[in-house]
Structure formats: structure tokens, C-alpha cells
Amino acid sequence: MLRFCVHYGIHFLVPIAIGLYFYKENRLWAVLLLLAGIMIDLDHLVASPIFDSARCSIGFHPLHTYWAIILYIGLLFFRKTRIVGLALCIHIVADTADCLLM
């Protein structure tokens, strides 16, 4: 239960909190963009089985590879892509926490 709460808490509560606190001018837009980071889980559709509770996503799925993570971190350095990079990095942190709690 702890693993579930930590994983999905980071996926949903952290983006909402960051969007509300740091993006006061465009709160709704920021929260929606930050929550959209969960879209990289679409790469689970190419795995067999699609969901395996004993599998760590990091390093396994195409959008969860170390090369992709480096790209997501790189997005943080450019103003136009910063919020997208932040959304993707939050997602990776959530999945890393999930892996560590296995």
C-alpha cells in the first residue's frame, strides 16, 4: 500500500502542488501540462505483458530509458520546454520511487 501511495502521490499530487504554487498566472494550464507527463506510460503498450507489478519501468520501456531521461533533464534548461521537462522528470521520479519500493 505504501508503494502505491508514494508512486501515485508523486504522479498526481506533486504536479498539482507544483502547478498551483509556482505557476500562479496560469495555474490550470500548468497543472494540466504537468499531469500530462503521465502520457509517457503509453510505451507500456509495446511491452508484454502490458503491466507487470514486479517490473521496474526505468531502463525497460522505450520512454523510460536512460537516454530518454537525459533528454528530459535537458529540456529543463530551455525556457520553452522547461514545464514539459519538469513533467517528464516528475514522472521518472515517481517510477524510480516505485522501483526502489519493490
Say if residue 71's pLDDT is above 90: yes
The pTM for the full model equals 0.94
Distance CA 96, CA 100 (A): 6
For residue 72, give its domain range. Answer: 2-100
pLDDT digits 0-9 by tens, 3-62 = 999 999 999 999 999 999 999 999 999 999 999 999 999 999 999 898 888 999 999 999
* Largest pairwise CA distance in the chain: 43
Average confidence (pLDDT) over 72-90: 97
Show the beta-strand stretches assigned E in 1-102: none
Cell of 35: 499531469
Give me the pLDDT at residue 61, please: 95
Backbone conformation region of residue 49, classed left if phi is above 0, alpha if psi is from -120 to 50, else beta: beta
